[in-house]
Structures are given as structure tokens and as C-alpha cells.
Structure 1
Amino acid sequence: MKNSHEQDNTAFFGHPKPLKDLFFTEFWERFSYYGIRPLLILYMSALSINGGLGLDRPTAAAIVGLFAGSIYLITIFGGWIADNWLGQARSVWYGSILMALGHLSIALNAWFDQFFFYFGLVLIVLGSGLFKTCITVIVGTLYNAQDTRRDAGFSIFYMGINLGAFIAPLFTGLFIENNGWHIGFGIGGIGMLIALIFFRFTCTPQLVKFNENQATESAWNKPVTPKKSAPKIVFAFILFCTIIISLVTLNIITINPIILSKYLTASICIVLLIYFIYLIFLANSTPNEKKQIMMCFLLIIIAVFFWSSLEQQPTSFNLFAQDFTQRYVGGYEIPTVWFQSLNPIFMVLFAPVLAWLWTKLGKSNLNPSYITKFIISIALAGCSFIIMYFASQRIILNGGALVSPLWLVFSLLFLTLGELCLSPIGLSAMTKLAPTQLRGQIMGLWMTSIALGSLIAGLIGGHVSAESLQELPMLFIQCAIILFAGAIILFIFKKPILKFLTTSNN
């Protein structure tokens, strides 16, 4: 008969019991985020007469890219706060509060100034910086580095993300059709409130109980390397943000989203390189830890290729669905944002299959390496854009006639399969390879690859419009060529990379 510890360690489909509570916390947080994400570019680019902000598409797409990119970029600082001051659990809690306030602020935009819309986006960004990194790290603490269930556990956790992402656009799409934009935004706020309550009163007690039964102490609920200066640095950052927001609100400084996106993309690349150099040469890491950090850096750079394609869903793919896709079925017009549910529903359908496959192959020592899975993911993303290329060519050849929704369906299917081979595996790799004292920061750096992809996608997405129809095929084929080139280069250097990874693990 199993003892209490053994039962808790296999209570959720053969995985630790707290994984279930983390699953549902992430589900509701992602429901809130994906409830508003597909609305942003449609709302901002809609004319004021239709209740929108009346921005041009390149500007609206750049803001979406800045919003999504900043969410992932700020996770570096969020990871540092967790490692040096709050710990993982308190960071998730405070992040949840900030995001809930952000959704409330966006909802207030219906009755007050546009300031509340943009201020709400800022609060969601700041809250996500604490939440996203830390809840993933907590999942990693449920397994030791040699546990063959690890990749499967992250795949299950990732399925929770996509269940929330699938359901949210279905709700918001229905509500904005009959009740306006702000009801759709409000639905996302309800999801975040549920996530906040669930983590505090259900998830945290289960984590405490699980930790008490472990043979080794887990650091999910306390800082790994406490620093007395951390609170001062955080408050200084808050003061800086307050000053910038005040200057923009008073029109003392003006921000051009497109120019800011370009400069931020270049700056992130430079800072990312400098930061990894610091971690390798100046952070008092052991030789083995330096190799682990270098491996993380390589995987992060590879991931940028993929994220720059995946993060075009709320911009390029969203606008393609609105402008060029036949959305009438039996006299009913499918809401544009419903197409944003295709990616997560495919994730829900195929994530268990791949989770089972990785576990089965792992038991037989046949599980493909991280590098192999990354190559597959980038190649599949390339196939997705090949499909979009032919779809846009068909529109031009037919004189601008709308195309079947199946083009988007199959394109997003390939993109989703690629995501399954990269995202949960990347999360697992970061928590496994990262040195313990740097795990929050390394996870934040992994999120930086998504930030870069989001910024690039935002700069691309605004060019999808009826006025630039002739340019669409070239836009999509260029994305495909870059992705295939990345996959080929990675395949060529696969053997030396794997040799390096083997050495770093010994």
C-alpha cells in the first residue's frame, strides 16, 4: 500500500497532486489574457464610430507587439524579484493582484478617458512579470532533474494554458458582437479574479502539504538568494514607471509605438547578449553551470525564430481572418476572434498525445533531444507560412475574393504542432538546465525570446490589409524562408550541440 507521500506524488494522472491546482490557476489566468488579446488590434484599429480608438493598423499592431513583448520581457525582473526578495509563491500572488487591477482599469475605459485602457495594459504587464515566471518555476520544483515524468508534466501544465486560451475568445467573441468591446474586456477580468482566489485558497495549501512530505526542502515559497537591497530597487522601478506614465499622460513626452518597437527589439538583443556574458563570466558560476547557462542561451536564440511566427496570431492571422476569410456558415457569421481558439484547441487535443509519447520514449531511452524537437518545431512553423502564402496567392488570382477558412485552420494546425515540440519542452529545459540560484532569472530570459518574437510579429502584422494585398504572398514566403533556414542551420550543428549538452550534464 502506498504511503501518503507516494499518493501525493502520483495523485494527478501519475503526477504530483499540486500540479492539478497549478493547472487550474494557470487556466484562469490564461483565460483572462487570451480573453482580451485578440480584441486589442481589432478594437484599436476600429473607427471611433464603431467604438474603437481609430488607430492605423501598423500602430495598433505595434502596440499589441509592445504589450505582448513587454509581458515576457518584464519576467526577467519578475524572476529576479522572486529569487532575491519575495519567493515564487508571493510573487504569483502579488502578480495576480496587479493583473486583476489592470483588467479593472481597462473596463473603466468604457466610462472614462483612454488613459485607463493604456494604464490597464501597463498593470497587466507588471503583474505578468511576477506571475508567469514564478508559476512555471513552481511546477519545476515538483520533479527532480532525473524524473522521466518532467516533460509530460509540463505538457499537462501547458494544456491548462491552452484550455483557457481556447474558451476565452469564444466568450469574448459572442459578447462583443451584441454588447460592445468593453463587455469582452470585462470577461477577461473575471477570469483573472478567479485565478487570484484559486491560487490563494486552493493551490497554496496543497503546495505547503506537498512540500512537508518531501525529503529535500523546496524553495518555491522563499527567496533563493535574499538581498536586502531588493525592495529599494523594486520601489525605484515603480517610481520610474510612475514618472514615465505621468509624463506621457501630460503630453510632455510622446511615444511612437512603431519606432519604440524597433529600438526595443535592437536593445533587447544587445542586453540579452550582455546579460548572458555576465552570467557566464561574472556571476561566480562553476564550470559546469557556465556550460548549462550557455546551453540555455542557445535554446533561447533558437526559440526567437519560432515565436516570431507564433505571435503573429493576434495580428497577421487575426486581420487575415477579418479581411480575407469567408466567415459565413449557414447564414451565421463566425466572429473573427473565434479563429484565435484554433491554436489552443489543437493544443488541447494533441498535448496529451505528445505527453504520452515523450513519457513512453523516455522510458525506452528513445526520447528525442531538445535540439531535435526544436528543429521539428521550426520546420512545422515554416510549413504554416507556406500555406498562408498559397492562400494569399489564391485571393489575388480570384480578384480579391474571400478564401475558405480551411486555409487558416490548416496553417494554425502546423503552427500548433510546432509549438507542442518547442514550448513545453523549452520550459522543461530551462528549469532542468538552469543553476538553482539562477532559475528564476533563466526562466525570465526564456520569456525574453517570446518578447522578441512578439515585437517582431507586431511590426509585421500591421501590413496585413486590403490595401497591401499584393504584398501578402511575399510577406508570408519571407517568414517561411527564414524559418526553414533556421531549421537547416540547426540540423547541421546538431551533433556538436548534443555533444556539448552531454558534457554539461556530466
Structure 2
Amino acid sequence: MGKSVNNLDTSFFGHPKPLFSLSFTELWERFSFYGVRPLFYLFMIASLEKKGMNLKPEEASAIMGIFASCLYLSVLPGGWLADNYLGQKKAILIGALIIAFGHLCIAFSYFDDKMIFIGMLFLVIGTGLFKTCASVMVGMLYKKDDTRRDSGFTLFYMCFNFGAFIAPIICGFLQKEYGWHFGFGAGGIGMLLAVIIFYFKTIPDLKEFDKHVGIEATWDKPSKKNKNAFYIIVISSIILIGAIFLLFNGFIKLDARVINKNIILIILACAAIYFLYLFTFTSLRIEEKRNLIVFVVLFFAAALFWSVYEQQYTSFNFFAEKLTNKTLFNYEFPVVWFQSFGGLFVILFAPLSTFIWTYCAKNNKEISSIVKFALGLFGAALAFLVMALASNYAINLNGGADSLKTSLENSSQIILVSPWWLVSSFLLLVLGELCLSPVGLSIMTKIAPELIKSQVMGLWFVASALGNALAGFIGGEASEENIAYLPNLFLECMWILLGAAIVLFILKKSINKMLKNNKGKK
């Protein structure tokens, strides 16, 4: 029995066996997400002649900000439902099915453009159930003082980023050769694979691991049963259906840019209220409330990181389409292929970062999670310095901002810059992401109070929601009319990131002292 337990706990590169199947479930969910998300912005700004929606870049960017922020905001009610009604297993399975249906709606936008927004809505709802619980279940495989935790989350991150690598290549090729909706439809196939893997592989693996090794928290039932959850679901569904009916029949007119700005303010206000609620009205212990202080600091640092990181879908996409040479061996490759570099670099460099973190921990030279976090912000700052230099070079290469603006407006010949500018920037972004994102997930699962574990994990994704809303606001500044401002846009992002990194370095001793409260807890 001892040998069997040891194999179950170390069979996947020294990590628990269920980490493998959880990673592959997430891989195909990420394939579906990263396959269609880069296409959304390009589809919305494409002209009618190119069978797009012919929206202005600032409007398309605002819609992307609304979609992405709602996508991450949905993890709060999703986490609540998992904690109070469904449990992690059912939440992931139901969420995956809803996401798959959303992709089907997006594919059918071929017949009606409005279907793409209905599909986005289902992606939001399904991701709310799926995303939080997948990360929580990875955290359940480790004891709180297990030194493998950070490297385990990095492996998880590396595996599902393979989906982020291949998705833009496949979906981008289908879009370029056969049309937008073939690219969109390919994402739905990936989501169906995620459902199959989770049901037939992940669930059996978790049952076996729980039986022989043990999981720290429940995963197949809610941590506490809320009798009102069913009625809340029914009422929310009725309100949602009513809102969709009013919107799509023209009874309510909405301005995407105004909504995106308001979302930023609403997220900030709601996050502040919820933090106060957790501190004041919950039955959390003193040490758990101290951990929430750490959470608040990292929450805002992460929001700043994601606000610039998510520019790759707006301002980076704009730079790639308008100013970058995309010809390789006489073939003009799709714009979204640049998005594959993010996943590729994670695959290449995640093992190296895992080795470094593990080696340091084993030799009593462990780099604190806060230092890793600050390094992540610094890496992203360097990425935006590269983009500032690249955009300034493109403007000078074409005779100045006014000359370039005129050429863009008249579709005249433009001198395009090397794709290596974008590739270099993606590399620096990923190095920053590897320091920040998996480490952030690891910290959250370690300090989250057991009673509200999924909800705290949901709050962590709210930081991404805030960042994406800010990204939609900032990314709208990248347009043909505003081409002279492009270098300053990237420089401003760089200075914001550097400032946040410096603040974290200043606070690291205080934060590390608070985190020590978790050591030794089971």
C-alpha cells in the first residue's frame, strides 16, 4: 500500500497523478479560449469587405474589455455556487458543457452577427464555473507546507499553455483560408475534448488519489449546502434572459466605451465592499484575516500586471496587423499567429523556472513568492519598453506620425518593421507571467480560508477582471487616428509596472512575515 500511495503522489514528474489529467482538461479549455479570443478583436475591426463587423478600434477594444472582465468576474458567483451548491466536480463539468455551447453559438454567427455576443455570454457563464474550481482542485493535491506547490502550479501552467500555443495556429489558419467562422468553430471542438477528458480520466484519477492519499478538502460535494442556492439560480436566469431579450430587440441602447469605464469603477467599489465584509462580518480567525491583507496587496499588483499584459489582444494586435511584416517564406501568415508565442515560451521556459524554484527551495535559498511577483512586474515592464521602441521606430521609418497616419488612412504602401520586435516583447511578457501568475495561484490556495476557499480564488480572478477592463480602456488608444500616441502609450504602461514592482520590494519583509503564519498548517 505504501508503494501505491507513493506512486500516486509522485507519478507525474514527482507530482500527484491527478495533476496530469487536470492539466490536460485545462489544456483543451485554454485551446478553446485562446483560439477564439484573438480573433474577436480582429473580426470586429475588419471591414465589411473582409466580412467583419467594421467597428472602430476603440469600440472593439471596449467590447473586449467588457467581455474579458465579465469572464473573470463570473468566477465569483461560480465559486460561490461550487462552495454552496455544486461542489468542484459538478461545477467544472457543467461549466465545460456551457462553454462548448457558447462556441457553437459563435460558430453560428455566420448567419447573424448577434450570435457572437450570445456565444460570448455563454463563455462568461461557463468559465465562471470552470476556471476557479480547476485551480482549486490543483491546490487540493498538496499539503499547505508542501514545497512542491509552486512548481506544481508551474507544471499545470506549462501543460495547459500548450493549448494556448497551438490554438492561434490552428484557428488562425482556418480563419485565413476558410473564413472567420471556421476559426471560431475549431475552438468548440477543443472544449468538447476537455469535457471528455475530465469525465473519463480526471474524475477517476481524483477518486483513486482521494481514496489512497487523501485530498485536503472536499471536491465532489459543496463545502456547505445553501438551501437558497437553487432559487438564486432560477431568479438570476430569468433576469439574464429578460436582459438579453431587451438588448437584442433594441429596447436598450448601450455604449461599449461608457460601460467599460463604469465596469472599472464598479469592480473597485465591489471589491472594496467585499474585502470589508470578509474582515468585519465573517467568522475568520485573526491569522486568516492577516492573510487577507496580503491578498489585497497582491490583488492590486496583479490587476496592474493584467491591465498591460492583456494589451496583446488589442494594441499588440493593432501593431501586428498595421505595422509588422508578416511574410515568412513568401507566405503572409495570420496576425493571430503572434499569439502562439506566448504559449510556446511558457512551454520552453516553465521547466526552467520550475527547476530554479525547486533547486533554491532544496538548498535553503528559496526565493520568496513576493520577490517572484515583483520580478514578474519588472519583466512585463521591459516588454513594454521594447514595444515603445518598436512603435517609435515604425513611425520614424515612415517619415513621421503624420505621414504614417496618412498612409494608413489611404491604405498606401507602408514600410513594415521586423516581427522580432513583437516576438521579443512576448518573450519578456511570458518571463514575467511565469514569475507572477502560477506563483499567485499558489499563494491564493495556500492562504485562502477553508470555509471560503473557492470564493477567495474567485476574488483572485477579479484582479484579472479589473486588469482586463483597464486593458479595454487603454487598448482603445491604439488606432490609426492616434498613431502618434502609440510610443507614449507603451511607455506609460512600462512606468506603471516599474512603480508597482518597487512598491512590492519595499513591502516584501512585512508580507513575508505574514505568510509565515501558514507554515506548518495542514
Tell me the CA shift for residue 72 of structure 1: 0.7
Q: Deviations over 1:104-125 (max 9, x none)?
A: 01111112x2221110000010
In 2, Cα distance between equivalents of 1:366 and 1:161: 29
1:481-500 alignment, distance < 5 Å: 481-500=495-514
Does the CA contact (< 8 Å) of 2:309 and 2:429 recur in 1? yes
Does the CA contact (< 8 Å) of 2:144 and 2:518 recur in 1? no
1:71-82 alignment, distance < 5 Å: 71-82=71-82
In 1, Cα distance between equivalents of 2:23 and 2:368: 26
Instruction: Kindly provide the amino acid, as one letter, of the partner of residue 292 in structure 2.
Output: I
The equivalent residue for 1:92 is 92
Counterpart check, 1:60 vs 2:60: yes
Tell me the CA shift for residue 240 of structure 1: 1.6
Does the CA contact (< 8 Å) of 1:211 and 1:218 recur in 2? no
In 2, Cα distance between equivalents of 1:494 and 1:149: 22
The equivalent residue for 1:472 is 486
In 2, Cα distance between equivalents of 1:243 and 1:253: 12
User: TM-score, normalised on structure 1?
Assistant: 0.97
Tell me the CA shift for residue 360 of structure 1: 1.6
SS at match of 2:110: coil
In 2, Cα distance between equivalents of 1:10 and 1:494: 32
In 2, Cα distance between equivalents of 1:129 and 1:411: 30
Counterpart check, 1:396 vs 2:375: no
The equivalent residue for 2:437 is 423
The equivalent residue for 2:248 is 249
Tell me the CA shift for residue 255 of structure 1: 1.6
In 1, Cα distance between equivalents of 2:464 and 2:136: 17
In 2, Cα distance between equivalents of 1:215 and 1:493: 36
Instruction: Kindly provide the amino acid, as one letter, of the partner of residue 107 in structure 1.
Output: A
How many positions carry a matched residue from both structures? 505
Instruction: Kindly provide the amino acid, as one letter, of the partner of residue 436 in structure 2.
Output: L
Does the CA contact (< 8 Å) of 1:323 and 1:465 recur in 2? no
Counterpart check, 1:435 vs 2:473: no
Counterpart check, 1:450 vs 2:464: yes
Counterpart check, 1:10 vs 2:10: yes
In 2, Cα distance between equivalents of 1:466 and 1:125: 30
Does the CA contact (< 8 Å) of 2:378 and 2:498 recur in 1? yes
Instruction: Kindly provide the amino acid, as one letter, of the partner of residue 440 in structure 1.
Output: S
SS at match of 2:131: helix
Q: Deviations over 1:107-160 (max 9, x none)?
A: 11112x222111000001000000000011011111110111111110011012
Instruction: Kindly provide the amino acid, as one letter, of the partner of residue 439 in structure 1.
Output: K
In 2, Cα distance between equivalents of 1:232 and 1:313: 40
Distance 1:504 1:22, change over 3 A: closer
Does the CA contact (< 8 Å) of 2:141 and 2:215 recur in 1? no
Does the CA contact (< 8 Å) of 2:325 and 2:417 recur in 1? yes
Q: Deviations over 1:290-319 (max 9, x none)?
A: 111221222111111111111111111111
In 1, Cα distance between equivalents of 2:333 and 2:346: 21
The equivalent residue for 1:130 is 129
The equivalent residue for 1:102 is 102
Of the three residues 410, 425, 432, the one matched with 2:424 is 410
Tell me the CA shift for residue 217 of structure 1: 6.0
4+ runs of 1 displaced by more than 6 Å?
none
Q: Deviations over 1:6-30 (max 9, x none)?
A: 1111111111111110011000000
Instruction: Kindly provide the amino acid, as one letter, of the partner of residue 477 in structure 1.
Output: L
In 2, Cα distance between equivalents of 1:498 and 1:207: 33
Instruction: Kindly provide the amino acid, as one letter, of the partner of residue 495 in structure 2.
Output: I
In 1, Cα distance between equivalents of 2:233 and 2:425: 42
In 2, Cα distance between equivalents of 1:160 and 1:235: 36
Counterpart check, 1:273 vs 2:287: no
Tell me the CA shift for residue 493 of structure 1: 2.2
In 2, Cα distance between equivalents of 1:165 and 1:24: 12
Instruction: Kindly provide the amino acid, as one letter, of the partner of residue 471 in structure 1.
Output: Y
The equivalent residue for 2:329 is 330
SS at match of 1:219: coil
In 2, Cα distance between equivalents of 1:65 and 1:46: 18
The equivalent residue for 2:156 is 157
Does the CA contact (< 8 Å) of 1:280 and 1:294 recur in 2? no
Q: Which runs of 5+ in 1 are unaligned?
A: none
SS at match of 1:312: helix
Instruction: Kindly provide the amino acid, as one letter, of the partner of residue 375 in structure 2.
Output: I
Alignment identity in percent? 45
Tell me the CA shift for residue 484 of structure 1: 0.9
1:187-202 alignment, distance < 5 Å: 187-202=186-201
Does the CA contact (< 8 Å) of 1:159 and 1:347 recur in 2? yes
Instruction: Kindly provide the amino acid, as one letter, of the partner of residue 482 in structure 2.
Output: S
The equivalent residue for 1:23 is 23
The equivalent residue for 1:224 is 223
Instruction: Kindly provide the amino acid, as one letter, of the partner of residue 168 in structure 1.
Output: A
Which has the higher mean CA deviation after the structures are superposed, 496-505 or 227-236? 496-505
Does the CA contact (< 8 Å) of 2:140 and 2:216 recur in 1? no
User: TM-score, normalised on structure 2?
Assistant: 0.95
In 2, Cα distance between equivalents of 1:393 and 1:120: 38
Does the CA contact (< 8 Å) of 1:291 and 1:504 recur in 2? no
The equivalent residue for 2:260 is 261
In 1, Cα distance between equivalents of 2:171 and 2:29: 15
In 2, Cα distance between equivalents of 1:350 and 1:216: 30
Instruction: Kindly provide the amino acid, as one letter, of the partner of residue 353 in structure 1.
Output: L
Q: Which runs of 5+ in 2 are unaligned?
A: 399-403, 405-414
Instruction: Kindly provide the amino acid, as one letter, of the partner of residue 417 in structure 1.
Output: L
Tell me the CA shift for residue 47 of structure 1: 1.3
The equivalent residue for 1:347 is 346
Tell me the CA shift for residue 58 of structure 1: 0.7
Q: Deviations over 1:398-438 (max 9, x none)?
A: 12431111111111111110000000000000000001111
Tell me the CA shift for residue 495 of structure 1: 2.0
Does the CA contact (< 8 Å) of 2:98 and 2:123 recur in 1? yes
Which has the higher mean CA deviation after the structures are superposed, 222-231 or 177-186? 222-231
Does the CA contact (< 8 Å) of 1:109 and 1:116 recur in 2? yes
Does the CA contact (< 8 Å) of 2:307 and 2:467 recur in 1? yes
The CA RMSD over aligned residues, in Å, is: 1.4
